Chain A
Amino acid sequence: MKKIIDLIRVDLISAKGRNKGKFFLIFMLTAMFVVVGMLTESIFMVYSIVVVGVMLVPSITMAEKTHNTGKIFTVLPTDRKSIVISRFALTTVIYTIFSVIIFILYLIMEKFSDFHTSVISKDISNLYEVSSGFGTGIQMRAMTNSMFWLFFAVTLMVMAGQHRRYFKKGISSKNNSLLRSFLKFLGGIAIFYAVSSVILLIFNIDILKPALIVFVNMLIALAAPMNGLLLSIILIFIGFGFTLYQLVCSVVDYEAREL
């Protein structure tokens, strides 16, 4: 355990270095989304955790490129498994703590939602709540809460993927810039939509529809009770589960890699 904490310290010290500009950029973007969320619809704050999540891993590994310390771990008296675990632990803990803070802020702002402008007008929200009645269990609040933790889980998965890629292929100036990471993230979404559209077009939905029905029905059923808490727990579980899977794979990949 001590070894892992020491390695986390190493990472934090090396990340401090000359990355102030990047940290400032992350801070500005995060602050922007938090302020937008406070002034309009509180759920918009969720974008701040996406920014932090997507930029966190590159900003830590960036130090190795900046200081040309990519092979420092080959000389440190530690095993590779501990390095992988420490890196995963560091980013996951920072990201989770930050997300929890934003979620608390989001809940507070929801309480005061009458005092700020809303994109979804109160009338529409009320109409939705009143008209839903029988047969529609899911409420607006449950939907937004679940959406927050969906973003959390997806971003956590992206982070785990970034880690694995790093441990498998190492760092390069090409694939490790902050802007590139962010663009890659956006590109990933675009590719996802493009591939989905092609699949839908080719198979005319018939193949995906039934599986989607099970998936969507289950999501709605889980989102309905306790203001979306149940679905949120499951999404968090999925996020951490996938991170654990990527951690195991990263250990194997990193141990097999020539440094």
Chain B
Amino acid sequence: MKRILRRTAAIIAAAVLTVCTQPFSAFAEDEDVLEFPSGATVSSVIKIQEKWDSHRNNIERRDKSNARVELIFHGDEILYTRYYGCTNIEEHTLADENSVFEWGSISKTFTWVSIMQLWEQGKIDLEADIRTYLPDNFFRHLKYDDPITLTDIMNHKGGWCEKFYDSTSEDMAEMPSLEEALRNTEPAQTYRPGEVASYSNWAAALAGLIVQRVSGMDYVEYVHKNIFEPLGMEHTSAGPDFTDNPWVREQRLKTICYESSLHTNYKENEDGTIEERVVEEYEPKGTCLFNDQLYPCGAVTGTLGDLATYAQAFVNDDHPLFRNAETQEKLLSGSSFYGNTDIPGFSYGFDVKEYNNTRTFGHTGATFGCVANMEFDPVSKFGVVGLSNCGDDFPNSFGGSVFGRLKLKKYIGENYEKADMTPYSGYYSDTRTHAAGIGKFILYMDAFSIDSINAAKVADDVFFEYHSEDYYDDTIFSIVENSDGRRGLVNCCSEYLEIKNYIPKLCLLAGFMLCGVASLFILLAKRKLNKAGKAAPLSFAHIITAGQFAKIISLAAIISIVVIRVKGDKHGLTRTEGAVIGVIQLICLALCGLALLAAAYSFISKKKLPYGRIRSLSCFTGNLITVSAMVFFEMYNFWCC
């Protein structure tokens, strides 16, 4: 009996031990029911993706399309990796774990992490004026005396508008220091610090300089030592021209960037019928390498694996990037909120995205040739990262499957209150634009009205812009009132700022353009009358004619700004180009001013001329419109823009 009992006990013990020592099979069971915040199971999402990838068309297109590499992770574990397409379509080089891509603005998060590391070491005060950390008289174009804090910069509320001048160097030998580059490209400060959100690459690079000065180390060296090395990111570079990691440089040179476009193609089927197909074509743009003088804002380049490692650090309870868990918590606790709610819009430089069931943090990035995405949920510890070598192919196939959607009815329920937007009616423009200097006119060509949007109230001064159920996700906005009385609509770190008296300003710009075109016809008519000997010139006719030429040249000059920006491979004009255009505009302004006086004299003089009064009045009006537009839109201001 005892023997039987012993054997039974041994069998039971063996069974218990067997079960307890089988963690892998048990985990496999768990994985089957592991759910994303969206509610979808991990296995179902992966199965669908695998099915999609194994489709005949996708297999055929694999070596004919651009590279799009993506990854899903959960904590330390990589759940799914997808390498699709080519880093070089012409040579059929398929993307793999060694392919490197630029991460664009994700680079900024390295600066924000560095700032937070220095903050936890007590070397930086996030609320102190940044001038404390910069050389004396560093800024030349500040409009406001208010202090600018690092929190402002991390929230993109430093007050600077989009920089106008190019900050890339063709030759690394000509590369200025970060400090010098920042001085050379300082944009105008157009908003009061801490008030208006205006996404700024320049300000992010400025934060990089602060890291450099406070830590006493070169910025690239700092990032290597305090971020790359602790995380083991060996396949990532942070410096311009990849000087800090030759392997990355070698790999990056193998990656060609593409521009995609859709074309209709006709194919004859076996049964003789003609089938119409939409085909995606890829135009190679070369390597699209650039040496950004403001490298902290967008120079990080690396593999998908390293991007995943970096993103995983933020969902790791061991906080590998920080000494204290509190620092990581603070970084992801939100620094800018929608109205008086506890919904964060932005978190110390990280984008915050609200979904029905979750909230994610991360950043996106884009350079001349690559696009990147990083998004993670520190609570559920799920995250997605993606990279692509085609600007039109944003790598976010898994965002919806993993995190779900943001739809009004599910977020606040069916009984929502439709927001009355009438009090906020008006014209708004994105703050991330040229709000000063010779490119200021661009702001007035991108404004829009909010009168036709569908809005639902979430809280006081917070609303949802919603769409039909099948359409893309809804968006959350807060309404802020700035000290100058202008309203702003804020989403994440983007703000749409109200333009007061938009219609008259737009009319002034349109009038300026019309005067330029009309001057051309007036000069042609004058030439004809002169040839026929029927000209009856007004007083100071030469000055008036010079004014008409000036109007045409001035119009051509503002068009040339767009020409250079569109045709060039750079971000913005060079200083020389800006100076030439600015000086031309100054000369034109002087000529139009003189022509204005000449027309006024002609109007009041008693000289009898056919239609003299009407002609001098129209000439006066034309010059007045042109001079007013040039002054108001600062078309001559090439030094502060």
Binding site for B on A (CB under 8 A): 127, 129-137, 139, 206, 209-211, 213-214, 217-218, 220-222, 224-226, 230, 234, 237-238, 241-242, 245, 248-249, 252, 255-256
Q: Report whether over half of chain A's contact residues are helix, strand or loop; otherwise say mixed.
A: helix
CB-CB under 8 A from B562, the residues of chain A are: 210-211, 213-214
Q: Report whether over half of chain B's contact residues are helix, strand or loop; otherwise say mixed.
A: helix
CB-CB under 8 A from A134, the residues of chain B are: 448, 450, 453, 465, 475, 489, 496
Q: For window 533-560 of chain B, which residues contact chain A by CB distance below 8 Å?
A: 534, 558-559
Residue of A nearest to B450 (CB): A134
The 8 A CB mask of B325-347 against A (1 = contact, 0 = none) is 00000000000000000000000
Tell whether, in the assembled complex, residue A210 and residue B468 are in contact, meaning their CB atoms are under 8 Å apart: no
Cα of A127 to Cα of B558 in the assembled complex, Å: 36
What would 8 A/B residue contacts be, using CB atoms closer than 8 Å? A133-B452, A133-B465, A137-B449, A210-B564, A210-B567, A218-B513, A230-B503, A242-B521
Tell whether, in the assembled complex, residue A249 and residue B525 are in contact, meaning their CB atoms are under 8 Å apart: yes
Cα of A136 to Cα of B447 in the assembled complex, Å: 9
Tell whether, in the assembled complex, residue A221 and residue B525 are in contact, meaning their CB atoms are under 8 Å apart: no
Tell whether, in the assembled complex, residue B506 and residue A222 are in contact, meaning their CB atoms are under 8 Å apart: yes
Cα of A237 to Cα of B507 in the assembled complex, Å: 13
Binding site for A on B (CB under 8 A): 427, 430, 444-450, 452-454, 465, 467-468, 471, 475, 489, 496, 502-503, 506-507, 509-510, 513-514, 517-518, 521-522, 524-525, 528-529, 532, 534, 558-559, 562-567
Residue of A nearest to B555 (CB): A214
Question: Lowest 6 A-B CB distances belong to which pairs?
Answer: A137-B448, A210-B563, A210-B566, A217-B445, A245-B521, A221-B445
B506's contact among A127, A135, A221, A256, by CB below 8 Å, is which? A221
CB-CB under 8 A from B467, the residues of chain A are: 130-131, 133
CB-CB under 8 A from B514, the residues of chain A are: 234, 237-238, 241
Tell whether, in the assembled complex, residue B525 and residue A245 are in contact, meaning their CB atoms are under 8 Å apart: yes
Q: Tell me, rounded to whole Å, the shortest Cβ–Cβ distance linking B158 to chain A.
A: 24
Tell whether, in the assembled complex, residue B454 and residue A214 are in contact, meaning their CB atoms are under 8 Å apart: no
A213's contact among B465, B502, B566, by CB below 8 Å, is which? B566
Q: Tell me, rounded to whole Å, the shortest Cβ–Cβ distance linking B221 to chain A.
A: 41
Cα of A224 to Cα of B499 in the assembled complex, Å: 14
Cα of A230 to Cα of B427 in the assembled complex, Å: 14
Tell whether, in the assembled complex, residue B452 and residue A132 are in contact, meaning their CB atoms are under 8 Å apart: yes
Cα of A217 to Cα of B562 in the assembled complex, Å: 11
B528's contact among A131, A222, A237, A248, by CB below 8 Å, is which? A248
Q: Tell me, rounded to whole Å, the shortest Cβ–Cβ distance linking B420 to chain A.
A: 17
Tell whether, in the assembled complex, residue A230 and residue B510 are in contact, meaning their CB atoms are under 8 Å apart: yes
CB-CB under 8 A from A238, the residues of chain B are: 514, 517
Tell whether, in the assembled complex, residue B521 and residue A241 are in contact, meaning their CB atoms are under 8 Å apart: yes
CB-CB under 8 A from B489, the residues of chain A are: 134
Cα of A90 to Cα of B260 in the assembled complex, Å: 54
CB-CB under 8 A from A210, the residues of chain B are: 559, 562-567
Cα of A210 to Cα of B567 in the assembled complex, Å: 7
